[in-house]
A and B are shown apart, each in its own frame.
Chain A
Amino acid sequence: MSGLDATAVARCLSQMADHGDDLADAYFERLEEVEYPAADEEPGIRVRREEGFAIRLVRGGRTWLAARDQIAATEFGEALRQVARAQPSAPYPEPTLDRAPFPPLEDTSCLARFPTLVTRAIRRQLAAFPMRLRVRRHRRWIRVIGTQLAPEPQSESFYSCDVDLPWGRFGVLTPDLSAATVERLATSLTTLFRAQEAPRVEPTACRVVLGPHAAAVLLHEVVAHALETDTLMMGGRVESALGLQLGGPLLNVLDDPTNAPESVRRSSDDEGMIAARRWLLREGVVEQPLADLFSARHSKALMPGAARRGNRHRSPAPRSTHLELLPGESSMDDLFAEADGGLYFPEVSSGRLDPLSGRFTISLPYGKRIKAGSLGELLGPCRLRGTVSGLLSGIDAVGRDLESAGAGWCAKNGLKLPVWASSPAVRIGAAEVES
């Protein structure tokens, strides 16, 4: 995103933002996705590249946004005039937007090799089953320029993998395609395969241990989504959530984009605000919800810096980027020891939260029974249901081994965003499980 004349862009935005509390910014983005389809799918290699920008003006409780699918001075001038139409007419000189060309396509051989490596790893686990695996590399470059603010350009690079299996779909996000990623994916797919013949869980309320991956997804659904200011606003005043005891004292949950895996690490958010380590829950108490500039302008108690944009055509919204559950003191043996007769779930396939009632549903593709402090028989797919407060107050132990886990696509309100997490395992005193 070099070649953008930040000073000239800021000057144009300043002309438009002529009321004292106006917020105006320009958001430039470039996206690249390289995909290798499944072996029986045509066409072969797939490359998608796009770029564009959006200009935004926020005045009071109203926002105007104009977006274009190219980065060029004429289009920028047009969009500026379009956003400012509600204001007195003023001359808007077109800034120089001499952006550099797209970087050349990087070597994609690791993508091409990945499906073969996964298949071999599955064979090493003495399994074989039909599957169609697609792997993609995603790259994103963004630059936000405000009237008084022009933070460093940001970039992200990561991989996604979708697998069609005869019994459903499975997907992962990963910062790299390392040997460990291959092994983890192969293990998940093989376990899913074996779980098809496994007995179903009878509906029950029992002790449940969630592995790091499942715990991270659960916290994304029941903590991060519940503490997004656009969710909180649906229920009333955002400030009333501050200081609320949402979970037990073992729960310390943060959103920290600066501590995400290196290739997706961020120093500023999609509104150009500094991304900081944000305590969502400290010892179970709500401390700082996920806020963007819009909500922070309406409440001094909120800290912006958690805004994310699905793409240039949509306005930003508060979302988590890299969720962290701080480790506790229990080893996995400790967690299992006090969960005899309970269930262990290492993975989550999807989750949903009703923002008003606080009820959630988490789908679990498979599980294992806990017997005498160790893992027993494999169990088929089931669901975990409950309320946010019931579940969080029921967490009675947190593991001590932190893992990078729980990455996935978040699709709230049609914004498809990659989210990252690190978490230890957790134990829930009594959870409602149904088949």
Chain B
Amino acid sequence: MTSESLARSVVDSLVGRGLNDVEVFLKSGRSRRFEIGPQGRVASSSQEEGWAVRAGSDRASLFVAGTGRPALDGPWPDPDGLPLRLPPAARVPPWRPPADLEAPLSGETEAIRLLEAIEKGVSSELAGTRLLRGLLDEGSSQTSILSSRGIEETYRSRAASLFVEMAGPWPGAQTVGIAMARRELRSFHAPTIARRFVDRLLLQGEGESPERDRGEFLLGPALGVRLLVALLPLTVGGGSGAMVRALRDRQGRIGSELLTVTDDGRYRGGVLEAPVDGEGRPTGESVVIGEGRFHQSLVGWKEATRSDLVASGCVRRASWRDLPKVGPSHLFLAPNPEVKVATLLTAVARGYYLIDTQGSGQFDLEQDRFQLPVCGFALRQGRAAAPLAGAWLTGSISSWLRGIQGVARDLEFEPWSGMIGSPTTLVTGLELRRSP
């Protein structure tokens, strides 16, 4: 019996037991993992297969998940708790699967070569630097969703992730870690990653912080990403009304006209690109903030039916074990394709180019304030004047949003809860401090 026909039989069987709404989720895939670290070199390969069933009547519901394939006779526990309503089928716009789905997963030699190239690239500029841990994961999978409400979708995905942790050669050096995700392991560019490490490590070793300073801030993609991550309570879920009202100015804007934030489950070339979301609803582009004005947060089908919001096709499952949950797929601050980073850089007469964060920092949406440890360079007349590290970028979140004066074209995504992306931005109205 094929997986799809088995799923159909499970749906029919549970409907026959009085559960009106039944959904079967199937996922299978292969993955490879390569690691260099204290445990030597580890090469792992996994074949994974799992399923999940959500089912309910108008009185109670259940969720069961397991490895392998579901059995017709369960065992199914007695439904409990709240009733369950599943989304109805909707027309799914045509989707062209990415060409790289057919590409084979990378081998051990290729993966180890990449990690060694990163280490070599860093060591050649900064002798004595140590690679503490390098981790590469790559996998491909097939997902099927079938429900008693007419949903029947199957699609394939692939993703690769990299995590590297290094330490500088000087005593008391703290670790520097970089996490990235792409569709293919072959997309990771060792010299670029090595460059980023060299910058971070050098800044950690040589940078200093002013006691307190203001000016123009050129914020690298990593900082824009961190801001968007902090804004997730505002951009995800329908309960963000009070937070939005608190951030609005007299013109009804929450940010500069250059601030447009979009989520797109079909982002071309994106790690999470898919035709449907975790409930089988069509994905697409949703504008959360357009030219500084808040449009609407990302909501699922159920929340949209209870309000005047539009469902965004943004319900995701972290794995087959997990329940679907509203979340971003590719949430990003829209870049300006006309503007190079260099153009913004040369425009800074006196300020700072902050290239990375040095910790998670603290963002308080209710109190409208943040503190973020950062590193980068002091800028004078568009040129790097001194290395900067151990500094805290501080201010109000609303000042950050309203202070965006320029947006470049270098959009970069980072793996957080979904892929979060930002280009370099030019911001005013913030402050640097030596201590938070």
Which A residues contact B (CB, under 8 angstroms)?
Answer: 36-37, 39-52, 60-70, 75, 82, 104-105, 108, 112, 229-231, 233-234, 294-295, 313-315, 317, 354-357, 359, 413
Partner of B175, one of A65, A66, A355: A355
List, in ascending order, chain A residues with CB within 8 A of B175's CB: 354-356
Structural contact, B67 and A52, CB atoms closer than 8 A: yes
Map CB proximity to A onto B104-127 as digits: 1 under 8 Å, 0 otherwise: 000000000000000000000000
CA distance A313 to B30 in the complex (A): 11
Q: Which of A42, A48, A314 contacts B81, CB < 8 Å?
A: A42
Given the contacts A47-B65, A48-B65, A42 and B38 also touching, CB distance less than 8 Å = no
In whole angstroms, what is the CA distance A104 to B74 when docked? 11
- A108 to chain B: which residues have CB within 8 Å? 77
Instruction: Enumerate chain B residues within 8 angstroms of A357, measured Cβ to Cβ.
Output: 172-174
Contacts of A63 in B (CB 8 A): 39-43
The CA of A152 and the CA of B22, in the complex, are separated in Å by 41
Residues in A with CB closer than 8 Å to B60 are 44
Q: Mask for B12-43, Cβ within 8 A of A = 1, else 0?
A: 00000000000000000001010101111111
Between B35, B44, B56, B64, the greatest number of chain A beta carbons within 10 A of the residue's beta carbon is seen for B44
A42, A46, A66, A70: the one within 8 Å of B49 (CB): A70
Known A46-B63, A52-B67, A354-B175; contact A67-B46, beta-carbon cutoff 8 A: yes
CB under 8 Å from chain A, chain B span 34-89: 35, 37-50, 54-56, 60-68, 75, 77-84
How distant is the Cα of A43 from the Cα of B52 in the complex, in angstroms? Answer: 12
Indicate if B404 sits at the interface (CB-CB under 8 A): no
Q: Looking at the complex, which one of A45, A62, A313 makes contact with B40 (CB distance below 8 Å)?
A: A62
How many angstroms from the CA of A280 to the CA of B365 in the assembled complex? 43
Cα separation A249 to B54 with both chains bound (whole Å): 56
Could you tell me if B39 and A354 are in contact, using CB atoms closer than 8 angstroms? Answer: no
The chain A residue with its CB closest to the CB of B44 is: A65
Total contacting residues, chain B, CB less than 8 A: 47
B324 to chain A, nearest CB (A): 11
- Check if B244 is an interface residue, CB within 8 A of chain A: no
Can you list 22 contacts pairing A with B, beta carbon distance less than 8 Å?
A36-B81, A42-B83, A43-B55, A43-B56, A43-B323, A44-B61, A45-B77, A47-B65, A47-B77, A48-B64, A48-B65, A50-B65, A50-B67, A52-B67, A63-B43, A69-B68, A70-B67, A108-B77, A229-B38, A295-B38, A356-B132, A357-B173
How far, in Å, is A3 (CB) from chain B's closest CB?
A: 16
B325 CB to closest chain A CB (Å) equals 11
Given the complex, which residues of B lie within 8 Å of A317, measured CB to CB?
Answer: 39
> In the complex the two chains form, is A66's CB within 8 Å of B63's CB?
no
Question: What 15 additional pairs, Cβ within 8 angstroms, besides A42-B81, A315-B39?
Answer: A42-B56, A43-B61, A44-B56, A44-B62, A45-B62, A49-B64, A49-B67, A62-B42, A63-B39, A63-B41, A63-B42, A69-B68, A230-B39, A234-B132, A313-B44
Q: Are the C-beta atoms of A69 and B48 separated by less than 8 Å?
A: yes
Whether a CB of chain A sits under 8 angstroms from the CB of B314 is: no
B149 within 8 A of A: no
Which of A44, A70, A229: most chain B CB closer than 10 A? Answer: A44
B38 touches A66 (CB 8 A): no
A49 touches B77 (CB 8 A): no
> Is B167 an interface residue, CB under 8 A from the partner?
yes
Q: In the bound complex, do residue A69 and residue B67 qualify as a contact, i.e. CB atoms below 8 Å apart?
A: yes
B196 at the A interface (CB under 8 A): no
B81 and A37 contact, CB distance less than 8 A: yes
B132's closest neighbor in chain A, by CB? Answer: A234
If A42-B56, A43-B61 touch, does A356 touch B43 (CB 8 Å cutoff)? no
Q: A42-B61, A70-B67, A70-B68 are in contact. Are A315 and B77 (CB under 8 A)?
A: no
Interfacial chain B residues near A47, Cβ < 8 Å: 62-65, 77
Nearest Cβ on chain B to A387's Cβ, whole angstroms: 10
Closest residue to A434 on the B side, CB-wise?
B436
A370 to chain B, nearest CB (A): 28
- Whether A43 lies near B62 (C-beta < 8 A) is yes
Residue on B with the closest CB to A231? B38
Given contacts A66-B45, A317-B39, contact A105 B63 (CB under 8 A): no
Which residues on the B side are within 8 Å of A61 (C-beta)?
40-41
Q: Which residue of A lies closest to B65 (CB)?
A: A48
Q: Among B63, B133, B173, which residue has its beta carbon within 8 angstroms of that of A45?
A: B63
Listed in ascending order, the chain B residues whose CB lies under 8 Å from chain A are 31, 33, 35, 37-50, 54-56, 60-68, 75, 77-84, 132-133, 167, 172-175, 321, 323
Looking across the interface, which residue of chain B has its beta carbon closest to that of A108?
A: B77
Beyond A48-B65, A50-B66, A70-B67, is A36–B41 a contact (Cβ under 8 Å)?
A: no
Residues of A within 8 A of B83 (CB): 42
Structural contact, B80 and A45, CB atoms closer than 8 A: yes
- Report the minimal beta-carbon distance from B14 to chain A, rounded to whole angstroms: 12
Contact of B54 among A36, A43, A315, A354 (CB under 8 A): A43
A69 to B67, CA, bound (A): 6
CA of A234 to CA of B64 in the docked complex: distance in angstroms?
41
**Chain A residues with CB under 8 A of B44:** 64-67, 313-315
The docked-state distance in angstroms from the alpha carbon of A36 to that of B79 is: 11
Residue of A49, A82, A229 ringed by the most chain B CB atoms within 10 A: A49
Tell me if A230 and B37 are in contact (CB < 8 A). Answer: yes
Residue pair A234, B82 in contact (C-beta under 8 Å): no
Sort A-B residue pairs by CB-CB distance and give the 4 closest, nearest first.
A44-B81, A44-B80, A43-B61, A61-B40
A294: which of B40, B46, B55, B82 is its contact (CB, 8 Å)?
B40
Contact across chains for A233 and B61 when beta carbons are under 8 A apart: no
Indicate if the CB atoms of B61 and A105 lie closer than 8 Å: no
Please measure, in the bound complex, the distance between the C-alpha atom of A412 and the C-alpha atom of B61, giving whole angstroms.
Answer: 35
Contacting residues, chain A, for B46 (C-beta < 8 A): 66-69, 313
A42 near B45: Cβ-Cβ < 8 Å:
no
Q: Chain A residues near B33: list those with CB within 8 A.
A: 313
Q: Cβ of A64: which chain B residues have Cβ within 8 Å of it?
A: 42-44
Q: Which residue of B lies closest to A230 (CB)?
A: B38
Distance (whole angstroms) from the CB of A229 to the closest CB of chain B: 7
Do A69 and B62 touch (CB < 8 A)?
Answer: no
How many Å lie between the Cα of A354 and that of B165 in the bound state?
12
- B80 closest partner in A (C-beta): A44
Closest partner residue, chain A, to B173 (CB atom) = A356
Please give me the residue from chain B that is nearest to A232 by CB atom.
Answer: B38
List the B side residues contacting A36 at CB < 8 Å: 80-81
Q: How far is the CA of A108 from the CA of B75 in the complex (A)?
A: 15
Q: Are A294 and B39 in contact (CB under 8 A)?
A: yes
CA distance A40 to B68 in the complex (A): 31
| Nearest-neighbor residue (CB-CB) of B163 within chain A | A414
CB distance from A413 to the nearest CB of B (A): 8
Whether B78 and A233, one on each chain, are in contact in the complex, defined by CB atoms closer than 8 angstroms, is: no
Distance of A66 Cα from B43 Cα, bound (Å)? 9
B81→A45 contact, CB < 8 A:
yes
